[in-house]
Every structure is written in structure tokens, then in C-alpha cells.
Amino acid sequence: MPSLILLALSTLVSEDLACIAAGVMIARGDLGFLPGVAACFAGIFARDLLLYFAGRSGGALGRRLVRESRLKNASGWIQRRGVRIVFLSRFTPGLRLPVYVAAGFLQVPLGRFAGSLALAAAAWTPILVGAATLFGDRLLPATGLPLALAVLYAMLRLPQWLLVWEKRRRAVGFLRRKLRWEFWPSWAAYLPLTPYFLWLGWKHRSATVFTLSNPGIESGGLVGESKSEILRRLACVPGLVPPFHLLPASAGFAERAALALQLGGFPIVLKPDTGERGAGVRVIRDVAELRDYLREHPEDVIAQEYAPGHEFGILYARDPDEPKGRIVSITSKVFPAVTGDGKRTLAELILDDDRAVCLGSWYLKVHGQDSGRVPAPGESVQLVEVGSHSRGTVFLDGFAIWTQALEHAIDRAAKAHPGFYLGRFDIRAPSIEALKAGHSFRVIELNGVSSEPAHIYDPAVSIVAAYAALMRHWRMAFEFGAKNRALGHAPMSVRELLDLLFSAEARAAKRNLPPMQEEYSG
């Protein structure tokens, strides 16, 4: 009897492990099949009722047990499909906790709820215990008790996991991120280029000479540069840069907020002055969001007027020996969206989309509680509004819009910044025609040597073409740096560069960045 009570109580910790343990005990002859099933059934039924009462107790405890977005989703399922979803959730891992808590929160009649639970547990428990008994009898002699328990748990969980559509779609997204070049993390993307970097360093007699590719920017714009300083230098060209203010960390909260509000109204863009991979870039639409952002970011922050229109990344290069520069790459940034059908939630639309599923976790985080909303038929929901590839923006090769007028305008803008030769302008333009004519665009950010020819993340660009573009970019970086060194500039030492990189990684870790390349508008 004590073992049966202990078995029933153990379901409160993990019902699957309790049923597996019961099956192993039955296989060893320490317990009868019916008593083992009855003990597990009693514990499972009691546990499910406790979750129901946790939701019914006003919802406070329920919201602590379950994320509010999942609770909202489960409430919608019950309201649309009735108590049968309670029965079905018993066979769908990941649904039990939110559905049972939501049933209590919605005050589903206890009699109907308990009846559904009893039927579901009566069908489920013998299957799980019986499977553990059958396989445990075969595994125990060959593996011993600990390994048998582990193998049984994996065997019994995998089929359950495969039944869950959401988990299957997340697995699809995970696999596609690993297989598609555009989603590779930075370290994986650059690892094959290591021998090429070593050769470039040997050829130019310096491993860090590329930090002189832009002597007017700290580290050449590799990392740690002040974005406000760069914008301030570009602002000498009238109308080129949207109005902005630096909100210094040394100022008080009220002073920083007042500086941001001087831009004249919302929306505005806030971003750290020393950004790494686009961390912390956010479009702010009201005072409450402004207040929350400034509290989350006590460091130096830039507040910039929001520039509407089409967004592009234009990579520019000018040999220090040449009077005129050229456009090397143009990337068109497309903000992805899903279209509602009046039936599926936003989360379901995201996970069902062939590309959105690759960054589904990020999109769901961005939309938070709104992920449980059911968009109306035909309603388009934009998934992100910051032009960062690793945060969901689609990058496409846009070199077809190149014109002499555009190249001349970009060259003129680049020469406004002293000591700048290689980097990417992130711009917004009211129309493609205006951009091709070389006017009316606004520079929202200028990045230095760390800029990549971002068109390589176009799904149509092969990995061979992408690496060829990266090798051309870094060959120019080393060559430009060597020429600027000949003019009397001194490159950073290896130790200085490593210190700068480590401090950047520390800032990135503090901001909890996703492990992928980031672009601005992020």
C-alpha cells in the first residue's frame, strides 16, 4: 500500500515518469498490473482536478502556472470546441496544463469537466503503463533499471511529441534554419573563411590592418563605434539624416525622455548608441513605451525621428587612392506578413508559413499576447517593423535599382564623413523612383567594415556566390586598411581588438541577443 500511495503522489511531479515507473515495477514482478494502473489513474485524475481548481480560484494562481498567452489560446479552444477539447488534450502533450487551467478560469461545469477527465485518464493510463510494462520487460535484463527508465521515457515521449502540430512545425523551423544559408549564425558562416583571413593577414603583414579601412571610425566600424558620432558627421548634408538626439546615460530619466519628445511626436526609433548586431532597436509609439524602453536601457541611447518608406542597405566602397566610390551591393528589405483567415490564430498562421516558421519563436516573442488573436479574413499582419534579417526581415538582392544618379548621391553622402571608405548605408526612401533618381532618401544608419554585402541573404543566392561576395568584401577591407596605414595611420593591436570584441560580446549577452547576424534598421 505505501508503494501505491507513493506512486499516486509521484504523478504530481511527472505523470509520464510515474506511469513508466509503474510499468517497470510490474515488469519486475514488484506490483500487479491493475493496482499499478489504479494508483496512476488516481494520481493523474487528482492532479488534473487541482489544475482546474487553480484556474477557478479567480485565475491568479492559474496565470502564475501558465503564460497568459497560452491561457488565452486555451480559453479560445474551449469556447470554440467545448469540453471535447479537454478530453483530446489528454492525448496532446503541451495542451493539458493550459487547457485544464483555462477550463477552471472559464468555470466549465465541474461535473462535465470531471467526467471528461475521468474518461480520458481511464483510456490513457492503461496504455501508458502497459507500454512501459511491455518494453520494460525486454529492456531490464539488457540495460539495467536506470537506463531502462531513460530509454522508456524517450520512447514514450517521442510519439506524443510528434502528435503535436506546434512542436512539429517548430522542429521544421529548426531544421530549415540549419539547412538554409541565410539563417546560419555568424560563427558558422565565417568559420570556413578563417584560412582566407589568415592569408590576408600574412599578405598585408598585419592581422588587424582592416581596422584602418575606415580610419575616421573607431575600429574601422567593426565593433564599439558611436552611432551618434557617425550620424552627426553625416548631418552636415541637409536633409540626409532624420533628426535625432543622443540620450546620455549620465542624464536623468526626465531629461532623457524630454530630449526624445523634442523630436516632435511619435513614432520614433530608439536604439543603443553602441549597438551590437541591432540589439535594442525599437519603434516607439507612445509615452508608455518610451518610459519602459528608457528604464530597460540605462546606457547611451539614440532617439531618431521615424523615417517611413522602403528600406534598403547599400554597401559602398571607395579605394583611398581613388576620387570616386562605387556601390558594391544593394539589399532590399521586405517586412514579412501573414494574412488572416478568420479561423487560425496569429501563432498558427506564423508556424504554418513556409518561411515565417524558420523564425517562429522570434515572431511569437515580438507579438506576445497578440499571438493568440484570430486575425479577420484578409487582414494582413506585419510580423516585424525593424529591418533586421535575424529578427525576421527578408533580404533580397536589389541591385537592379542601381543608377548613376543613385551612385553619385551615395558617393556624395559618403564623402561627408571624414575617413570613411567602406561600409553600408541603411536608408529609407519614399519610393523606388525617388531612390533611383538619387534624391529624397534618408540615412538612418551608417555601418563600417563589419557591414556585409547583405544581398547574400537572399534565398536565391547560392552559398558559393555568398562566400565569393564575402571574400571580395574582406579583401577590400584589408587592401584599404593597408593603403591608409601607408598614409600614417596605425591599426589597432590584436590585444586592443580582442578587448573590444570581448566587451561587445558581454554587452550582447546582457541584452540576450539571438545568435545570428543582425542588420539595422537593426
Task: Calculate mean pLDDT across residues 444-459.
Answer: 92
Task: Give pLDDT, residue 317.
Answer: 97
342-345 CB contacts, 8 Å cutoff, 24+ apart: 342/374, 342/375, 342/376, 342/377, 343/374, 344/374, 345/73, 345/76, 345/371, 345/372, 345/373, 345/374
Of 199-203, 256-260, 369-373, 430-434, where does mean pLDDT reach its minimum? 369-373
CA-based nearest residue to 26, from 148, 147, 109, 108: 148
Evaluate whether residue 251 is within a structural domain. yes
Tell me, yes or no, whether 361 and 388 share the same domain.
Answer: no
* 8 Å CB contact between 451 and 438: no
Residue with cell 520614433: 268
- Highest averaged pLDDT of the listed ranges 47-61, 189-203, 356-370: 189-203
Question: 3-state class of 426 per DSSP?
Answer: strand
* Residue with the larger pLDDT of the pair 10 and 160: 10
Residues 383-398 pLDDT 10s: 888 777 777 889 999 9
Evaluate whether residue 46 is within a structural domain. yes
For residue 130, pLDDT over 50 is answered with yes
- The Cα 257–Cα 247 span in angstroms is 8
- The Cα 253–Cα 372 span in angstroms is 34
DSSP string over 143-168: H-HHHHHHHHHHHHHHHHHHH-HHHH
What rounded mean pLDDT belongs to the chain? 82
* 8 Å CB contact between 522 and 386: yes
Evaluate whether residue 196 is within a structural domain. no
- The Cα 148–Cα 266 span in angstroms is 61
Task: Give pLDDT, residue 512.
Answer: 45
pLDDT band at 95 (very low <50, low <70, confident <90, very high): low
Task: Calculate mean pLDDT across residues 216-234.
Answer: 91
Q: To 10 degrees, what angle do helices 15-27 and 110-143 make?
A: 50
Buried b (16+ CB within 10 A) or exposed e, 156-183: beeeeeeeeeebebbeebeebbeeebbb
* 8 Å CB contact between 511 and 278: no
Tell me, yes or no, whether 71 and 143 share the same domain.
Answer: yes
For the chain, give the percent of residues with pLDDT over 70.
82
Tell me, yes or no, whether 390 and 435 share the same domain.
Answer: yes
Task: Calculate mean pLDDT across residues 356-367.
Answer: 86
With 0-12 CB in 10 A as exposed, 13-18 as middle and 19+ as buried, what is 252?
Answer: exposed
Evaluate whether residue 507 is within a structural domain. no
Of 34-48, 111-125, 245-259, 319-333, where does mean pLDDT reach its minimum? 111-125
pLDDT band at 513 (very low <50, low <70, confident <90, very high): very low
pLDDT band at 522 (very low <50, low <70, confident <90, very high): very low
* 8 Å CB contact between 234 and 427: no
CA-based nearest residue to 399, from 328, 340, 487: 328
Q: How far is CA 436 from CA 307, 429, 439, 503, in A?
A: 18, 10, 8, 40
Task: Give pLDDT, residue 234.
Answer: 94
- The Cα 133–Cα 395 span in angstroms is 53
CATH number of the domain residue 392 falls in: 3.30.470.20
* 8 Å CB contact between 120 and 90: yes
- The Cα 276–Cα 287 span in angstroms is 26
Tell me, yes or no, whether 66 and 84 share the same domain.
Answer: yes
Task: Give pLDDT, residue 122.
Answer: 86
Tell me, yes or no, whether 90 and 212 share the same domain.
Answer: no
pLDDT band at 125 (very low <50, low <70, confident <90, very high): confident
Task: Calculate mean pLDDT across residues 256-261.
Answer: 92
pLDDT band at 521 (very low <50, low <70, confident <90, very high): very low
For residue 449, pLDDT over 90 is answered with yes
* Residue with the larger pLDDT of the pair 298 and 116: 298
Tell me, yes or no, whether 314 and 236 share the same domain.
Answer: yes
E strands along 366-492, which residues? Answer: 380-382, 394-397, 422-429, 442-447
pLDDT band at 196 (very low <50, low <70, confident <90, very high): very high
pLDDT band at 5 (very low <50, low <70, confident <90, very high): confident
Evaluate whether residue 125 is within a structural domain. yes
CATH number of the domain residue 259 falls in: 3.30.1490.20
Total length of the chain: 522
Task: Calculate mean pLDDT across residues 267-275.
Answer: 88
Domain boundary among 255, 286, 306: 306
- The Cα 497–Cα 431 span in angstroms is 40
Tell me, yes or no, whether 361 and 236 share the same domain.
Answer: no
DSSP letter (8 states) at residue 214: S
Evaluate whether residue 515 is within a structural domain. no
Tell me, yes or no, whether 300 and 400 share the same domain.
Answer: no
Tell me, yes or no, whether 114 and 217 share the same domain.
Answer: no
Question: 3-state class of 222 per DSSP?
Answer: coil
With 0-12 CB in 10 A as exposed, 13-18 as middle and 19+ as buried, what is 276?
Answer: buried
Tell me, yes or no, whether 37 and 135 share the same domain.
Answer: yes
Q: Are strands 268-272 and 301-305 parallel, antiparallel or unpaired?
A: antiparallel
Residue 256's CB is within 10 A of a number of other CB atoms, namely 24
Evaluate whether residue 185 is within a structural domain. no
Tell me, yes or no, whether 156 and 282 share the same domain.
Answer: no
Evaluate whether residue 74 is within a structural domain. yes
* 8 Å CB contact between 244 and 302: yes
Task: Calculate mean pLDDT across residues 460-468.
Answer: 92
Number of folded domains in the chain?
A: 4
Give the cell for residue 98: 493550459
Tell me, yes or no, whether 106 and 130 share the same domain.
Answer: yes
Domain boundary among 254, 289, 306: 306
The boundaries of the domain holding residue 485 are 204-240+308-335+384-493
Task: Give pLDDT, residue 275.
Answer: 64
Residues 290-311 pLDDT 10s: 999 999 888 899 999 999 999 9
